Amino acid sequence: MKIGCCLPGGSFMPQGVGEITTTKDILLAGYRAVKAAGYDYAETSVGMVMKLTDEEFAELVELHKAGEFTIETCNSFIPATYQVTDPAQLPALEEFVTKAMGRMAALGVEFVVFGSGGARKMPMVDTMAELAAIDEFLKMCDRVGEKTGITVVIEPLNKGETNIFNSVSAGASLVRRLNLPHVKLLADAFHMLLENDNLLSIEENADILCHTHLASGQARLCPSAEGDEYLADFGKHLQAAGYTHRVSIECRYKDFVKDIAEAYPFMRKTYA
């Protein structure tokens, strides 16, 4: 397995280093901190990638080409300003997805996480039409993904964040029903813990599981050097499933640089 960290969306450097003001510098500093701590890769939000000015984006592309900067995965795919369950919004969504995936691909992204609880929440006015709209959205993502080389992974979220696909098995059912080459599954330890989701679903869906997120406990903290029993069990199920893809820390950081350094021994021991 490859272990990585999701980058925070704001200035996070230790006191005395100075404030980071541009999106480009936040991403660069985050990437360098993650690599310095020993991790294999960095993950950021689609919002951060889209927030880059054209000049900043071009500079990061050049650094990527030089092997000095790479973002392997992105999360928070669709902003809540969109509604995936509204078929009328599909053209606007396709425009956004095409631009976002184009930018992501240029920075080395291979997977993008479709959590986006606000964007996918069903109004439950016309359930069949809303479900059909989600299908069409994912089919569109698959087409764009084929062109860009990016795979969408569906993230089951807890019921406090959205009202559909709240378990790994529910997300897996959607992935299997659509059977699209660029639409796969994610398992998130935090959401599984809140939903009391059966960890055996990791092994049951090993063939379509392509990415994972984790955090410690219901407070969603960064793992400590010792980690915790639930995250250790999560790792055992990944090992039993023969999982070889990525595991990202996605949590509330107190001190980003310090937290990821302290978490590294547990991460490398449990998920490598």
Q: Which of 117, 186, 202, 108 is nearest to 158 (CA)?
A: 117
Residue 271 has pLDDT above 70, yes or no: yes
Is there a contact between 32 and 69 (Cβ–Cβ < 8 Å)?
no
Q: How far is CA 227 from CA 31, 49, 54, 235, 266, in A?
A: 23, 30, 40, 11, 6
pLDDT in the model for residue 10? 63
Residues constituting the chain: 272
- Between β-strands 111-114 and 246-249, what pairing exists: parallel, antiparallel or unpaired? unpaired
Predicted confidence band of residue 64 (pLDDT cuts 50, 70, 90): very high
Residue 213 has pLDDT above 50, yes or no: yes
Give the pLDDT confidence of 125-148 residue by residue, as tens digits: 999 999 999 999 999 999 999 999
Cα–Cα distance for residue pair 139/153, rounded to 1 Å: 13
Q: What are the residues facing 4 on neighbouring strands?
A: 41, 248
Give the pLDDT confidence of 115-124 residue by residue, as tens digits: 999 999 999 9
pLDDT in the model for residue 15? 39
Is there a contact between 125 and 86 (Cβ–Cβ < 8 Å)?
no
CB atoms under 10 Å from CB of 15, counted, come to 6
Residue type present at position 12: F
Query: What distance lies between CA 110 and its chain's CA centroid?
Result: 11
Residue 195 has pLDDT above 70, yes or no: yes
- Alpha helices, H only, the chain: 23-36, 46-51, 54-65, 90-106, 117-120, 127-148, 168-178, 189-194, 200-204, 229-240, 256-271
Model-wide pTM > 0.85:
yes
Counting other chains too, the contacts that 31-36 makes at CB distance below 8 Å and 24 or more residues apart are 31/7, 31/69, 31/70, 31/71, 33/256, 33/257, 33/260, 34/4, 34/5, 34/7, 34/260
pLDDT in the model for residue 257? 93
Cα–Cα distance for residue pair 37/29, rounded to 1 Å: 12
Q: How far is CA 156 from CA 64, 68, 113, 146, 243, in A?
A: 31, 33, 10, 23, 18
> In the chain, where are the structural domains located?
2-271
Name the CATH architecture for the domain at 2-271: Alpha-Beta Barrel (3.20)
Predicted confidence band of residue 104 (pLDDT cuts 50, 70, 90): very high
Predicted confidence band of residue 9 (pLDDT cuts 50, 70, 90): confident
